Amino acid sequence: MFFCAISGEPPQEPVVVAKSGKVYEKRLILKYINENGTDPISGDKLEESDLIVIKASPEAAAPRPPTHTSIPAMLQSLQNESLAILCTNRMPLHASWRDLFENATRLERLSQMCKQPWVLHRLQRQLEKTSKWLRVKPNETHQSLSAARKKRKPPVGYSTPADVKTYTAKHTIPSLHSSSPPGITCIAVSQSQPSQFLTGGNDKIVQLYDRDTDKVLETLKGHTKRVNHVAFRERDGLPSLLISAGADKIAKIWSHDSASGGYIPKSTIRTHKGDLTGLVVHPTSTLIGLSSLDKTYSLHDLTNFAQVFRSAPSDEAFTSLAIHPDGMLVALGTPTSTIQIYDIRDGSIAATLTPTESSPFTVNTLSFSENGYHLCAPDSLSSAAIWDLRKQKATASIPLGDGFKINRIRYDPSAQFFGIAGSEGLRILAHKTWEELVKFEEAGDVADLAFGENGKEVWGVSGREVRIWGLPAE
């Protein structure tokens, strides 16, 4: 019998390090290697390729824990496991229902064996109570967010569409990330510290940069392929997190360390089998959503970093992701022009949006408006559609020119305007009128954009540069 050198328990997927001879649970040692790069026992440098999988005999079953040495104890354990799923996952996700009913089936079999039907009766009562909770709790969350959003107006001093028309180039930060391979792929701007921004690149690196001091604050490694998306999780009372998702099928999370003032690795999410194409922090700030080319999307708890939902495989890969500002709907783009919108409560499809464009194209970017009524997405390679979610129809199609290839679309937090970054620069358009307020062509191919504090600036990434446009100096 083997025991993991980290947990001290029999491993489910045992691996051995050839040099030290130590046995580990595979998921635990992979997490340790990703965060530290060393053997936890010997301290020697260690990589995933150094691990040897142990193919144990099927007869070599792990011994039962002391608490599972009787059928009543096993029944109690399974019941506790079922209830723990519901208590741990704050969001009402149908993955929990699936796990719960699988456990109920196991309980039924055991109950028949030991003739204790009271167990099922007790579980059924708990299921009835939980079912009511699952129906009510998401609606409370939705109503709270929706009410707050509908009452919210742009803050005093927030930029107006008229202000945006006057925006001009203000600052350029050159030579970010490595020159081999070159290229910044994504950007996010901090809301709590507006001079700081996060970038990901083709060089597999995530960088945290401070514009005021013109210094790289953090260089975060761990991805093995291009970084596709980056995000901040910033909320009062919760630790600040930096999050990234890449073409290497993983998402990484770093947490702010008050002792050192920097960021330390907290978790690596390895649940997907294809490139990660979308990363969004849920409006509650307690979850993140991920989309993948493996035809699934998932939700993960930002408290314990556990996966709380994984969709059933779709017929198509998912190429982009957006979450409605009320937190109830998830929109996913596909490589065949369609947009699938799912209800987060049970994973069911709430709507399918299909543009009239005859030639298939990849929906590589999506953005919900802050008012919650509209979704902006490409409706061809060089035009963007504004979808009215109340009617499930495109109310406008905005042509950008035959040579324009859309890379990213983002609404500003006030829902007054939105930006489209593409192969021929960056354009800002007014919401509702769809008027083009300003365009910046000098940046060339802009991979991503973000709005700064109070909408007074717009940031774009092009090549190895971050460019900032805003109100002209007085």
Asked whether the predicted pLDDT for residue 79 surpasses 60, the reply is no
pLDDT at site 455: 94
Distance CA 32, CA 36 (A): 6
Strands, sheet with 339-343, edge to edge from the N-terminal-most edge strand: 320-323, 329-333, 339-343, 349-353
Q: pLDDT by residue (tens digit) across 151-176?
A: 567 788 899 999 999 999 999 999 99
Q: What is the residue whose two structure tokens read 């260690």?
A: 46
Q: Is the dihedral of CA 89, 95, 99, 105 positive or negative?
A: positive
Which DSSP state fits 63? P
Architecture of domain 162-470: 7 Propeller (2.130)
Task: Say if residues 417 and 431 touch (Cβ distance below 8 Å).
Answer: yes
Question: Which amino acid makes up residue 213?
Answer: T
Instruction: Enumerate the domain spans of the chain.
Output: 1-63, 66-151, 162-470
In residues, how long is the chain? Answer: 474
pLDDT category at 121 given cuts 50, 70, 90 is: low
Burial of 113 (0-12, 13-18, 19+ CB in 10 A): exposed
pLDDT category at 32 given cuts 50, 70, 90 is: confident
Kindly state the percentage of the chain with pLDDT values over 70.
79
More confident residue, 144 or 216: 216
Distance CA 245, CA 223 (A): 9
Beta strands in 54-127 (DSSP E): none
Range in 35-49, 66-80, 207-221, 260-274 with the lowest mean pLDDT: 66-80
Asked whether the predicted pLDDT for residue 130 surpasses 50, the reply is no
Asked whether the predicted pLDDT for residue 268 surpasses 80, the reply is yes
**Does the predicted TM-score (pTM) go above 0.85?**
no
pLDDT at site 144: 58
Q: pLDDT by residue (tens digit) across 205-248?
A: 999 999 999 999 999 999 999 999 999 999 998 999 999 999 99
Tell me the average pLDDT of the chain. Answer: 83
Q: Is the dihedral of CA 242, 247, 251, 257 positive or negative?
A: negative
Task: Say if residues 314 and 295 touch (Cβ distance below 8 Å).
Answer: yes
Q: Identify which of 467, 464, 460, 470 has the alpha carbon closest to the alpha carbon of residue 187.
A: 460
- Residue 213 has phi, psi (to 5 degrees) of -100, -5
pLDDT at site 65: 47
Q: Identify which of 245, 266, 229 has the alpha carbon closest to the alpha carbon of residue 410.
A: 229
pLDDT at site 138: 46
Over range 278-299, report the average pLDDT. 96
Architecture of domain 1-63: 2-Layer Sandwich (3.30)
Distance CA 290, CA 270 (A): 11
Asked whether the predicted pLDDT for residue 292 surpasses 70, the reply is yes
More confident residue, 56 or 104: 56
Range in 136-145, 274-283, 345-354 with the lowest mean pLDDT: 136-145
pLDDT category at 85 given cuts 50, 70, 90 is: very low
pLDDT at site 133: 35
